[in-house]
Amino acid sequence: MIEARRLHILRAVADHRTVTAAAAALYLTPSAVSQQLAALEQETGHRLVERGAKGVRLTPAGEILLSHTNAVLAQLERAEAELAAYSSGAAGAVTVASFATGIALVVAPAVARLADSAPGIRIRVQDAEGDASLPMVLDRQVDVAVAVEYRGAPPADDPRLTHVPLYAEPFDAVVPVAHRLAGAAEVPLAELAKDAWIGPYPGNPCHDVVVLACENAGFQPRMEHSSDDFRAVVALASADAGVALVPRSALRGMDLAGVVVRPVDGTAPTRRVFAAVRRGAEGHPLIRPVLDALGAAAQAQPLPV
């Protein structure tokens, strides 16, 4: 008989590629993870993992078991959801991880909506960049992630997750007031090829959007300054330190006195934001109202693309 908790460990090792990283994500010791993997191998009668200089990888037998693991764990999530519904689980805590702008734009309004529509649900919010929140969901550290599509992100049909689209928004060009293109109605990205750039660090999903947009315009941006805080990005642009692309919603309420904000000429780079939960958990009586509230908050936002 295969124990479900050992399947959780197998998936964590597959996701994190090392026993140490998987153990940290699961709040276990590396030795405990190794022991559980050994027990799983004994239960299945197959070697499931191979250790090498670059970490751990699954054997062909491990890959077969992993494909079933995703289905089994999703079904267990559904079972928990139905049992919670049966016991009328209308009260409890749901943890939501989101990047800062997402918190302001949809998470905080959703919290306010739930205070009226589902007062028994207590929301706990954690600030996490879009690329960090999805692993947190998979590792069961949080229940819901508000994340951004990025290169290398789990796709919408990933068997481990259920995606709920929330909103899409364009990036606008932010240039110093003295910039040569400050008077343009729209900014062609190709005209910024020789400028110094300000943007998020590599690994931030917005960094991928900016770099891909510049690559499509025919150049690699010369990133002179890096910050994941868009207020810092705008402040540097106002100091004539460079140019930037910033999501439109992130510019709300900022001091823009030293910069000019213009739409991008042609097809604007866009970030697409979605909520994600472990597959099977979308019908949980505590999680479903949170997803609905996030969707309603997103629909209430004027975010033209």
Question: What is the mean predicted confidence (pLDDT) over 67-96?
Answer: 78
Answer yes or no: is pLDDT of 220 > 80.
Answer: yes
CATH 1.10.357.10 fits 4-82, yes or no: no
Pick the CATH number of 90-166+272-300 from 1.10.1060.10, 3.40.190.10, 3.40.50.300, 3.40.50.2300: 3.40.190.10
At residue 87 the predicted structure's pLDDT band, cuts being 50, 70 and 90, is low
* pLDDT surpassing 90 at residue 119: no
**Helix residue ranges, H only, the chain:** 4-16, 19-26, 30-44, 60-86, 100-102, 108-117, 130-138, 205-216, 230-238, 287-299
What is the per-residue pLDDT for 304? 46
- CATH 3.40.190.10 in the chain is located at 90-166+272-300, 168-270
158 neighbors 66 (Cβ within 8 angstroms)? no
- Residue 55 or 87, more confident: 55
Alpha helix ranges (H) inside 171-267? 205-216, 230-238
Helices (H) and strands (E) in the chain, counts: 10, 11
Residues for the chain: how many in total?
305
Q: Is 171 exposed, middle or buried (0-12, 13-18, 19+ CB in 10 A)?
A: buried
Average pLDDT score over the chain? 89
CATH H-level, domain 168-270: superfamily: Periplasmic binding protein-like II (3.40.190.10)
d(CA 145, CA 205): 14
86, pLDDT greater than 60: no
User: Taking residues 264-289, what's their average pLDDT?
Assistant: 92
Angle, CA of 27, 32 and 37, to the nearest 5°:
110
CA geometry: angle 111, 99, 208, nearest 5 deg = 150
Distance CA 33, CA 10 (A): 9
Between CA 154 and CA 131 the distance in angstroms is 10
Per-residue pLDDT at 303:
59
C-alpha of 64 from chain center? 27
Question: Quick one: pLDDT band at residue 152, thresholds 50, 70, 90?
Answer: confident
Exposed/middle/buried for 199, CB within 10 Å: 0-12, 13-18, 19+? buried
C-alpha separations of 81 from 50, 69, 140, 213, 265 in Å: 35, 18, 15, 41, 47
Pairwise CA distance, residues 74 & 79, whole Å: 9
- DSSP assignment letter at 29: -
Q: What does the CA dihedral 23, 162, 202, 217 come to, rounded to 10 degrees?
A: 160
* Mean pLDDT (whole number) for 146-170: 89
- Chain region(s) in the chain for CATH 1.10.10.10: 4-82
Residue 34 confidence (pLDDT): 85
The answer, as to whether pTM is greater than 0.75, is no
Q: Say if residue 298 is exposed, middle or buried (CB neighbours under 10 Å; 0-12, 13-18, 19+).
A: buried
Neighbours of 42 (CB within 10 A): 9
| DSSP letter, residue 228 | S
CA distances from 214 to 199, 208, 240 (A): 12, 10, 20
